[in-house]
Amino acid sequence: MENLLLNTMKRDIEYLEAHGDMEDAQAKRNELELYVLFPDARFIIDGDFLPMLDDLLTEEKHIFLSHTRYCCCWDEEEYKPTEFYEIKGDKITYRYVFNELIRQDFNPDCNHYFLELITQTTNIQFDLCMGS
């Protein structure tokens, strides 16, 4: 039995196509495909990552990803500390990174759960850029 979210996403695509909004329909198809590929993710992966899932993020074999919560979801006194995720592998592709984040139970724990970018800050350090 398909879940409610999948059915809703499919109906959204049909609605957008019926109203001629092909650009948003394609974005929803990408979102649906990423959801099917990574159903256990506790974050949403931007559709722009879809064509580059098997591209290398880096040629390094050992990197760190950081997630810092400085956003309107938290008062200054409530800011949670930066979290780090260690990634090791022979081929660190975007797909590998997403699967490792899921395996390591990455949860943004705020309204900014949409992974928009991964930016490189040093040769082995990358930041997860989250939006809403």
Amino acid 9: pLDDT: 87
Three-state DSSP state, 37:
helix
pLDDT band at 11 (very low <50, low <70, confident <90, very high): very high
Phi first, then psi, for residue 18 (nearest 5°) are: -65, -25
Residue 33 belongs to domain spanning: 4-37
pLDDT band at 71 (very low <50, low <70, confident <90, very high): low
User: pLDDT of 13-67, one tens digit each?
Assistant: 999 999 999 999 999 999 899 999 999 999 999 999 999 999 999 999 999 999 9
Tell me if 25 is assigned to some domain.
yes
**Same domain flag for 19 and 68:** no
User: Out of 55-59, 90-94, 126-130, which region has the weakest mean confidence (pLDDT)?
Assistant: 126-130
* Cβ-Cβ contacts under 8 Å for 63 (sequence gap 6 or more): 57, 86, 87, 92, 124, 125, 126
Three-state DSSP state, 44:
strand
Number of domains in the chain: 2
* Average pLDDT of the residues in 108-126: 88
Q: The pTM is what? A: 0.86
DSSP string, 106-130: ----SS--EEEEEEESSSSEEEEEE
pLDDT band at 72 (very low <50, low <70, confident <90, very high): low
**Same domain flag for 99 and 60:** yes
